[in-house]
């Protein structure tokens, strides 16, 4: 998402076969783990080099794995268009979560920019983040939307958080008929919890700085890139992951804040 919730939203009208195993995070020992590098124009790296990534370059058409490091956090990220891998990710995520506590989920979406007023490109990716686990689901290339995902998003005991999340939820419903039952806009939550009305207009960059005390860079070249490509670049995966992770972290801290 762009820092401003204009129609551009970072994706907008103005331009702005696999190895079976007990875990989808199994990585074969003979695979080479390759660090990927970023140009200064297409990365989140700031002067402190606080964001880094590793592309596991798995030799499959169904999915790939990335390790995205953000300051002290390592975020295990699954990129896939496969319903079966979405099922596995959701199952593992729920198994790792204590059922006695409500589940908080960072949510974001990306789509190819709409460069013409009569152009409405559908959501290309849906990002979900729970703690250090992130899913980047290429929904535009999926043969179907798994029932497990519909149930997960429609579970009112789960709280989905994001910056300007209502727009994302509306677009998911419009493009795919996918509903999100319980969602909270982080801007309103931050304004209420911190008593700062101006935060109602804040973007994710401002929320990250105000709530987390951490700076992020959101390059426009990635923001307005081809999110509908069959395979995303490492820069796109990192961008998508960080947005969802920051949404989760901001929500987690705000909900734990004493008021």
Domain span at residue 61 reads 53-256
- Does residue 100 fall inside a structural domain? yes
Single pTM value for the model: 0.79
In this structure, what token pair is assigned to residue 79? 């990129």
Supply the pLDDT for residue 227.
Answer: 96
- Does residue 5 fall inside a structural domain? no
Which residue is listed with tokens 């101006």?
A: 198
- Does residue 26 fall inside a structural domain? no
- Does residue 230 fall inside a structural domain? yes
What gap in Å lies between CA 89 and CA 82, rounded to an integer? 11
Question: Starting at the edge strand that comes first in sequence, how are the strands of the sheet with 103-111 ordered?
Answer: 34-35, 51-55, 63-70, 73-80, 133-137, 123-130, 103-111, 158-162, 183-185
Q: What is the CATH number of the domain that holds 73?
A: 3.30.420.10
Domain count, the chain: 1
Supply the pLDDT for residue 114.
Answer: 78
Q: What is the total residue count of the chain?
A: 259
- Does residue 27 fall inside a structural domain? no
Give the model confidence (pLDDT) of 93-126 as tens digits.
999 988 888 899 999 999 998 777 777 899 999 9
Percent of the chain residues topping a pLDDT of 70 = 76
- Does residue 86 fall inside a structural domain? yes
Q: Which of 94, 91, 112 is nearest to 103 (CA)?
A: 94
Give the model confidence (pLDDT) of 3-32 as tens digits.
333 333 434 432 342 233 333 333 222 222
């Amino acid at each position: 998402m762009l820092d401003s919730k204009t129609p551009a939203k970072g994706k907008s009208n103005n331009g702005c076969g696999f190895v079976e195993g007990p875990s989808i995070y199994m990585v074969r020992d003979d695979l080479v783990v390759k660090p990927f590098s970023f140009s200064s124009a297409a990365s989140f790296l700031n002067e402190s080099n606080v964001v880094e990534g590793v592309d596991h370059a798995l030799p499959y058409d169904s999915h790939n794995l990335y390790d995205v490091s953000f300051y002290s956090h390592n975020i295990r990220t699954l990129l896939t268009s496969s319903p079966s891998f979405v099922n596995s990710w959701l199952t593992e995520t729920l198994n790792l979560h204590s059922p006695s506590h409500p589940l908080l989920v960072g949510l974001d979406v990306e789509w190819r920019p709409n460069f013409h007023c009569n152009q409405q490109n559908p959501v290309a990716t849906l990002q979900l983040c729970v703690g250090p686990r992130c899913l980047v689901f290429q929904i535009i290339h999926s043969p179907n939307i798994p029932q497990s995902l519909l149930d997960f998003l429609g579970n009112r005991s789960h709280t989905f958080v994001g910056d300007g999340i209502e727009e994302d939820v509306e677009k998911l419903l419009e493009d795919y008929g996918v509903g999100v039952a319980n969602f909270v806009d982080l801007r309103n939550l931050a304004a209420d919890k911190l008593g700062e009305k101006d935060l109602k207009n804040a973007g994710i960059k401002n929320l990250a700085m105000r709530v987390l005390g951490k700076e992020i860079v959101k390059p426009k070249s990635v923001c307005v890139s081809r999110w509908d490509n069959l395979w995303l670049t490492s820069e796109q995966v990192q961008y998508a992951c960080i947005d969802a992770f920051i949404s989760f972290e901001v929500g987690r801290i705000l909900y734990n804040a004493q008021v």
